[in-house]
Amino acid sequence: MDMHRVLRDPWVWGQALLILAVVAGIPALQRGAGGPVADWLTPSSISVRLPGLLPIVLGVTLALWGATSLGPNLTPATQPGERAVLVQTGPYRLVRHPVYLGVTLILAGTGWLYANPAIGALVGVVALLFFGEKAAVEERWMRSRFPEYAEYASRVPRLLPRLWR
């Protein structure tokens, strides 16, 4: 992995900030916010928050499956490595960016677990929008690097798997 390229990629920094905003920002806002914001961020009862573990477990499973399927191709940057190959097996036959979907589920579940289902849904939408844009940037690189990517993209959805065939 070319760390120089990774550290120059603004999407890597954006991803780190998004994760930090959820993991550290929600608890900080819960402690320091007042008024209607505090009311909205107030944690629900544990029985309402506990189901937030499900998207976390699903997300970790999907992200790890995606990362291990990529093997040495894995990079947090949007530009593929010099020796990268196009992976279309494992979770990559269901969605083109399973690691991004996994991280989205983890972040949504974390928001739900920390606060309530509404915060989880809001975090999930923001993460899905962010990773959708990051995926679009990455896919420009992939299309220029792999001629077969256009056919792959026509068969496999970007982030959300098709629930029908």
How far apart are alpha carbons 41 and 29 in whole angstroms?
Answer: 8
Is 162 inside any structural domain? no
Other C-beta atoms lying within 10 Å of the C-beta of residue 79: 20
Specify if 160 maps to a domain: no
Nearest of 81, 102, 73, 107 to residue 161 by alpha carbon: 102
* pLDDT tens digits, 33-86: 666 666 777 788 889 899 999 999 999 999 999 999 999 999 888 998 888 999
CA dihedral of residues 10, 14, 15, 16 (deg, nearest 10): 100
Determine the structural domain holding residue 38 and report its residue range: 3-155
Residue 144 lies in a domain: yes
Residue 165: inside a domain, yes or no? no
Q: pLDDT higher for 164 or 64?
A: 64
Is the separation of the CB atoms in 131 and 59 below 8 Å?
A: no
Residue 161 belongs to a domain: no
The residue type at 156: V
pLDDT of residue 30: 80
Residue 67 tokens read as: 């990362």
CATH number at residue 94: 1.20.120.1630
Q: What is the pTM (predicted TM-score) of this model?
A: 0.92
Query: How many independent structural domains does the chain possess?
Result: 1
Q: Has residue 105 been placed in a domain? A: yes
- 128: tokens are 């899905």
Is 141 part of any domain? yes
State the residue for tokens 């065939």.
Answer: 165
